[in-house]
Amino acid sequence: MKVIGTEASQVLASRIADELGTAVVDVKFSRFPDGELYVCAGGLDEEMVIVGSIVDSDSLVQLLLLIDSCENSHNRLIIPYMGYARQDKRFKAGEPVSARAVALAVSRGAAACITVNIHDKKVNSYFGIPSTDVSLAPDIGTHIKKMDLDDPLILAPDDGATVFAETVAAVGNWDCDHLDKTRISGDEVRMAHKNLSAAKRSVVIVDDIISTGGTIATAAALLASQGARDVHAACVHGVFTNGAYARLKAAGIREVVCSDTIERGCSQYSAALRIAGALGR
């Protein structure tokens, strides 16, 4: 068995190889003058683990090319972050189900797939191969333990993230709550935590993904006004579009951290161990 990764997942692929006690394959990545992508993988094995986060269209094409490069191997596919997964249904006529289109495209040439905190687990059913999802919520809880906060409040940014936040909180037996959003008008939203007070407490806002960071920035301002000692944010997928990381820091959040499903400077915990376990290390 060997591990191979796209450019977007080269660090995570190497970490997975380390966890599995095997080698990572060297890949040449380049681009033709007309913009087309080129890959060339050397030293393949009869069993391959192919790792590639889909962070943009180029990374999707690279992943497709790597899968085809490994056509003579038995391949297991790892998609740490799956872009296009949030378009998991048609919202209006004429739209594609993008999650299904991508899932089916990457299924050809692989025997099985592992995703990490995918947007909705029903997306796993769109793959043409057996597909399972693993969660890094416990790993975020382990990271929070290392932060050595005094009785932190774990806070989900909305009701939909409550189960995720509860899993994080269970690691340290911490209090857990979620924010309620009430729309006052077309452009005004009132936000409040549901049950517990944040006064004089360290608060960690947790979610599977931080994209624009707007909700979390608003929540940080609310928590500060209610006397929170400090506010932190932790997620699995640090997308951070349109300057979201800086927006969160400017909102007064002391620490913003994510995993290496998308490789960032603030990646503080790795999906490698969880993925290696799912591979049956």
* 232, 112: one domain: no
* 121, 186: one domain: no
pTM, 2 dp: 0.92
Catalytic residue among 28, 145, 181, 194: 181
SS3 208: strand
The amino acid at residue 192 is A
Q: 123: domain CATH number?
A: 3.40.50.2020
Residue 156 lies inside a defined structural domain of this protein: yes
SS3 42: coil
* 188, 159: one domain: yes
Tell me the mean pLDDT in the region 215-230: 91
Range of the domain at 235: 137-260
CB 20 within 8 A of CB 274: no
* 155, 50: one domain: no
Looking at residue 199, what DSSP letter applies? T
The amino acid at residue 127 is F
> Residue 225 half-sphere exposure, CB side, CA atoms within 13 Å?
10
Q: Is residue 261 very low, low, confident or very high in pLDDT (cuts 50, 70, 90)?
A: very high
The amino acid at residue 272 is A
The count of structural domains within the chain is 2
189-202 pLDDT, tens digit per residue, is 456 655 678 889 99
Q: What does pLDDT average to over the chain?
A: 92
What ranges make up the beta strands (E) of 26-161? Answer: 27-31, 37-41, 47-51, 74-79, 112-116, 131-134, 153-156
- In the β-sheet with 202-210, what is the strand arrangement from edge to edge? 188-193, 175-185, 153-156, 202-210, 230-238, 255-259, 267-269
Tell me the mean pLDDT in the region 162-166: 95
* 40, 121: one domain: yes
Residue 265 lies inside a defined structural domain of this protein: no
> Residue 180 half-sphere exposure, CB side, CA atoms within 13 Å?
7
* Residue 234 confidence (pLDDT) above 90: yes
Q: What's residue 107's pLDDT?
A: 97
- What percentage of the chain has pLDDT greater than the value 90? 81
- The token pair at 279 is 């591979």
Q: What's residue 246's pLDDT?
A: 96
Return the minimum-mean-pLDDT range out of 56-65, 113-122, 160-169, 194-203.
194-203
* 126, 142: one domain: no
* 156, 204: one domain: yes
Residue 35 lies inside a defined structural domain of this protein: yes
Q: Which of 76-90, 177-191, 254-268 has the highest mean pLDDT?
A: 254-268
* 10, 123: one domain: yes
Residue 160 lies inside a defined structural domain of this protein: yes
The question of whether 145 is a catalytic residue gets the answer no
* Residue 64 confidence (pLDDT) above 80: yes
* 250, 144: one domain: yes
